[in-house]
């Protein structure tokens, strides 16, 4: 097995993987199916080329080369078809398909009955030299066919870059244009000009060079999501740009991901905050930690809302109106915790105006949870009479007489949790 055959095997594996990967992203998409056919054609071309490069018998090589024309000759028409589809500059009609593929059919026939590219094959060592059929009309027709299809594809990509308003599509168009231009230039120089005008002898490595374009497509998929726009990715982009804080944590309260607004408010990059425990980001780690523990260990309550302080990178805090919710997969298994919230800016005003102590704000929290005076006293470890005294002081500071008045004051200052949940926890 020579080096060219080894390279062809490698190319075959890349093309099969790339084609299946894109096809499985969206089987119903015409573009995805077309790309799969392009990869399949390239993969089969690589296989045939590998067999040809390793052939020991000239007659066997000629037989394989001629009969495999239906694989590698239509590739260039398929490439143009693909570029027409992704750029959507020309709306394809049935007549267009005839113009696209009819020249390829003629060349497949010509390759069977004559020689369209190479007139002879000479073995030197373990390599075959392909003698260009430069005196044949078929050669010029075949060369024109390749140049036209690849050249038109390049023009389409340029027009796509100019017309699209999407920054992402502009970058995709540039990558595809550059890699396809390299392939066209190398193939013309190596396969046409050098053999025609110099003593250079070609080994017909066209399928190897074309992998440059396929790798360009792969880079576009990885870097700019070319051919990879699925509902999941679209949803991810939408979530990333929502103007509310979004934090996703696993069942062990480790942060999995955050959106752009969270990055902006906390001044963390996503990579800096991943895998950190939620309690490290929340000032009220004890009461919220208990609620999260109950949330992840009890299916009866799947959400709660609270006002919490998130700790920023510099140690300062922001008040957040947050909802904590357990999320499940389609099988009913718990995946983790989703936190959705927005910044609250009225807390400082409330504390400044009414001079509430830490103990009084804690009691307000328990009142809003519906706790009785006896329950609050037990939770705080003080007498019920002391609790009544604190409540009277709270009402006096707020100039209200009952809980309804307390609710109204807190509502006026936007200090009641607004996120709908099964349970509300007030932390001031």
Reported pTM: 0.60
More confident residue, 371 or 41: 41
Average pLDDT of the residues of the chain: 84
Give the pLDDT band of residue 428 (cuts 50, 70, 90). very low
And the tokens for 154? Answer: 């390049």
318-324-326 Cα angle (round to 5): 150
Evaluate whether 270 touches 388 at the Cβ level (below 8 Å): no
**What is 237-345's CATH superfamily?**
PAS domain (3.30.450.20)
- Upper half-sphere CA count for residue 59 (Cβ side, 13 Å): 0
Give the C-alpha separation, 268 to 151, whole Å: 47
* Orientation of helix 211-224 relative to helix 167-188, angle to 10°: 170
CA distance readout (Å), 5 to 50, 52, 54, 128: 4, 8, 6, 12
Per-residue model confidence as pLDDT tens digits over 246-266 = 998 888 888 888 888 889 889
> For domain 347-412, which architecture applies?
Orthogonal Bundle (1.10)
Per-residue model confidence as pLDDT tens digits over 308-356 = 888 888 888 787 888 888 888 766 777 888 898 888 766 667 777 888 8
User: Domain 3-229, what fold?
Assistant: Rhopdopsin 7-helix transmembrane proteins (1.20.1070)
Beta bridge partners of 344: 319
Please compute Rg for the chain using Cα positions.
34
For the chain, domain boundaries? 3-229, 237-345, 347-412
Please, where are the H alpha helices in 164-248?
Answer: 167-188, 194-197, 206-209, 211-224, 231-240
pLDDT score of 229 more than 80? no
């Amino acid at each position: 097995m020579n080096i060219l055959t080894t390279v062809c095997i490698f190319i075959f594996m890349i093309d099969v993987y790339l084609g299946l990967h894109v096809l499985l992203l969206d089987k119903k998409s015409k573009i995805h199916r077309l790309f799969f056919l392009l990869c399949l054609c390239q993969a089969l071309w690589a296989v045939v080329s590998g067999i040809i490069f390793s052939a020991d018998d000239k007659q066997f090589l000629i037989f394989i080369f001629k009969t495999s024309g239906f694989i590698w000759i239509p590739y260039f028409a398929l490439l143009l078809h693909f570029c027409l589809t992704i750029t959507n500059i020309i709306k394809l009609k049935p007549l267009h398909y005839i113009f696209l593929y009819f020249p390829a059919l003629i060349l497949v026939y010509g390759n069977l009955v004559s020689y369209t590219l190479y007139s002879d094959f000479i073995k030197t060592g373990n390599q075959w030299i392909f003698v260009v059929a430069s005196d044949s009309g078929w050669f010029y027709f075949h060369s024109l066919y390749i140049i036209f299809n690849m050249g038109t594809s390049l023009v389409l990509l340029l027009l796509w870059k100019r017309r699209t308003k999407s920054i992402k599509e502009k970058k995709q168009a540039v990558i595809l244009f550059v890699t396809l231009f390299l392939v066209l230039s190398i193939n013309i120089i190596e396969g046409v000009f050098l053999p025609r005008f110099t003593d250079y002898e070609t080994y017909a490595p066209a399928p190897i060079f074309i992998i440059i374009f396929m790798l360009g497509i792969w880079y576009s998929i990885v870097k700019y999501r070319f051919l990879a726009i699925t509902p999941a990715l679209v949803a991810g982009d939408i979530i990333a740009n929502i103007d509310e804080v979004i934090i996703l944590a696993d069942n062990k309260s480790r942060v999995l991901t955050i959106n752009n607004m969270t990055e902006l408010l906390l001044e963390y990059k996503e990579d800096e905050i991943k895998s950190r425990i939620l309690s490290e980001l929340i000032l009220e780690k004890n009461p919220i930690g208990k609620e999260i523990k109950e949330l992840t260990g009890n299916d009866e309550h799947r959400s709660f809302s609270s006002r919490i302080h998130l700790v920023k990178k510099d140690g300062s805090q922001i008040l957040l109106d947050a909802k904590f919710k357990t999320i499940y997969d389609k099988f009913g298994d718990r995946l983790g915790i989703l936190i959705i919230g927005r910044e609250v800016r009225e807390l400082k005003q409330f504390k400044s105006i009414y001079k509430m102590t830490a103990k009084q704000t804690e009691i307000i929290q328990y009142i809003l949870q519906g706790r009785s005076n006896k329950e609050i006293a037990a939770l705080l470890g003080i007498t019920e009479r002391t609790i009544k005294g604190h409540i009277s002081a709270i009402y006096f500071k707020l100039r209200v007489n009952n809980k309804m008045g307390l609710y109204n004051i807190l509502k006026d200052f936007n200090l009641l949790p607004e996120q709908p949940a099964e349970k509300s926890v007030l932390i001031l």
